[in-house]
Amino acid sequence: MKPKVAFFDFTSCEGCQLNKLNLENDLLDILKHVDIVEFREAMDDKADHYDIAFIEGSISSPSCVERIHDIRRRSSFLVALGACAVSGGVNAMKNLHPIDQVRETVYGDDKYLFATLPAMAVSAVVKVDYEVRGCPMTQQDFLKLLIALVLGKQPQKYNSPVCVECKLKENECLYNRGMVCLGPITRGGCDAICPSFGQFCTGCRGILDNPNLSGMLDLMTNHGISLDEAKKRMLLFNANEVQL
């Protein structure tokens, strides 16, 4: 029997799910391996049990907490999909400000009508078995994880910086073009797609394990940006991951 797969969205732009529907060349192959049983963006059906539940988005309200617990109870494997689900992503920037101020900015006088929590990674609330990083994750990365799970293998984990893939592609370093790039401390696996097209890395796949943050801040300020700006760049996607 094929594994039953479902997709769910929490606080996010839903882009990570949507780009599954863009896998036109591979969709038929994917459907040979799995049954998609719940996917709000693509179908109406619902199911009681999931072999693999893909979760997009961060957990940022009491109702999110309730829902994710329910999904976890009914899933064999739970995979966090994309930066928001893995670490809180850009949503976690709100955690850098007092929560009352954040609510007032967004909802004004009606702020008391909307309960909110700090934006959290899915793994802060329930057990997450695997993760696919990135904003959005690359489709290749998602397919690799899916195929590994279908074959019963441990999916590959990335703990090498973006610079590795960038160097192997023989890209000119963006620091040599006067840009400030987060590649040296950002988890790779994205095939260095941004630097390859001349865009500096913003750290969407998260910071490496045991990063040298003070060294990185020195490096960035030595290349001409202020300490404040350097910290902001680092926090953009990783407010929950780094303490500055």
Q: To the nearest whole angstrom, how small is the minimum distance from the Cβ of residue 165 to other proteins?
A: 9
Whole-Å CA distances, 111 to 89, 103, 115:
23, 6, 8
- In this structure, the strands spanning 4-9 and 35-39 are parallel
Binding footprint of other proteins on the chain (CB under 8 A): 26, 29-30, 32-33, 143-144, 147-148, 150-151, 156, 159-161, 163-164, 167-173, 175-177, 181, 183-185, 208-212, 214-216, 218-219, 222-223
Cβ nearer to other proteins, comparing 48 with 170: 170
Query: How far, in Å, CA of 181 to CA of 195, rounded?
Result: 8
Instruction: Tell the residue number behind the tokens 């192997």, with chain if given.
Output: 168
Q: To the nearest whole angstrom, how small is the minimum distance from the Cβ of residue 189 to other proteins?
A: 12
Q: To the nearest whole angstrom, how small is the minimum distance from the Cβ of residue 196 to other proteins?
A: 11
Q: To the nearest whole angstrom, how small is the minimum distance from the Cβ of residue 183 to other proteins?
A: 7
Cβ nearer to other proteins, comparing 38 with 165: 165
Q: To the nearest whole angstrom, how small is the minimum distance from the Cβ of residue 161 to other proteins?
A: 5
Q: Where are the alpha helices (DSSP H) in 40-190?
A: 62-73, 83-87, 99-107, 139-150, 162-168
Angle at 231 between CA 130 and CA 102, to 5 degrees: 75
Cβ nearer to other proteins, comparing 57 with 195: 195
Query: How far, in Å, CA of 183 to CA of 204, rounded?
Result: 10
Cβ nearer to other proteins, comparing 66 with 172: 172
Whole-Å CA distances, 152 to 31, 43, 77, 187:
17, 27, 12, 24
Cβ nearer to other proteins, comparing 72 with 175: 175
